Amino acid sequence: MEKTKTINPATGEEIASYDRISAEAAKEKIAKANEVFLSWKQTSFEERAKLMHALADIFEDKKEEYALLATREMGKIIAQSESEVEKCARICRYYADNAASLLANVSVDTEASKSYVTFQPLGVLLAVMPWNFPFYQVIRFAAPALMAGNTCVLKHASNVQGCAFKLQEIIEAAGFPKGIFSNLNIDSEAVKEVIENKHIKAVTLTGSEPAGRSVASIAGENLKKTVMELGGSDAYIFLEDADLDKATDLAVFGRLQNNGQTCIAAKRFVVLEEIYEEFLEKFTEKMKAKKMGEPTDEDVFLGPMARADLRDELHEQVEKSVSQGARLVIGGEIPDEKGAYYPATILAEVTPGMEAFDNELFGPVASVIKAKDAKHAVELANNSSFGLGSGVITNDTKRGEEIALQLEAGNSFVNKLVVSDPRMPFGGIKNSGYGRELSGYGIREFTNTKSVWID
């Protein structure tokens, strides 16, 4: 039987191996999820909330264990893995406490004696999830889906199967019915058959643009609802009045968080020419100061990338950008050591047409771009096929808001890095996908918005 292996990207050593499941076994898990759905959809929000709070308790009680597993499988520094697990608990509690009100019937004033809109669960949902937030990305989907009355099957990334099976284990440990959430350890080629399964009612994917196009195409052929959260090349505009000490602190964290492997990471730094050189100097100094190394060491800020092949692809993008005219300020060389490490890297004088401007660099590489004025900065920020996150850094928040409203993205933040918050909808436009996760908008994505009329 074919196996998947999880590799510690800090050392290159194998952690564990897991058996792939057969197509028949996947069908059985989906059929079980559908069987569970028939009873689960009848449960009350109060019953579901008790289990969701129990799940949050487990995340909190075993934070260190789960964080270490995530760090070993995909390389993020341990403090950020612990934050990820804490965030899982928060999102479970948010939906436990708010799902009933978010999905409450909405009365409509018509000539009927009674008319309203209700939100009913769809059934079995397929989630195709990435490795960069191996617990949170899944819980961000599963918590609202389960609270809405749906059941779930997961196709997780091969390199984080330990996290994938752990999620199934702890959801069952919280008291949810066995089969309500199942991990399908299948390869990418098997996803098509899963989507086509009659019991799968909708699909959500977080991942690359090519993966999104493929899955959305199959789902579309089968007339199944999809939500796509794809890549990003988020632009942050730094206006001439920005506090450069605070601005560059944000820039460093925004680019190096999660070892640079975040869809909503700050990737393109659009800086007005009045402050360009000073920004670049401070930014370079702070990026240099961040220690790279073993992600379980407390003084390390930058761990390895998740896989060596991803590191090598990123390096090729850096080299291509330099050949196109970008200036390599720091980094840009593969270290001569074990592990999938890549140093904090800055490319300056980046312009449209360069790899570092036009495409997503999914790793610790910053593209610094000079803008003549605020209008030019907006044009540069919007000159992208992506539209996930964006930001404006300025001391004038009113002006910042005016510019944020001009940015072509699903999320625009002023003086703060883009984050996902369960109280706010999250998603993108253009090639960054469609649909929304989180908040009331997200939980309703996988419900039947049903009109009821009583004459």
Question: Which residues are annotated as catalytic?
Answer: 229, 263
> Please, what's the b/e burial string for 383-400 (b: 16 or more CB within 10 A of its CB; e: otherwise)?
bbebbbbbbbbbeeeeeb
CA separation for the pair 231, 229 (Å, rounded): 7
- Tokens 């058959």 sit at which residue? 193
Residue 4 contacts residue 14 (beta carbons within 8 Å): no
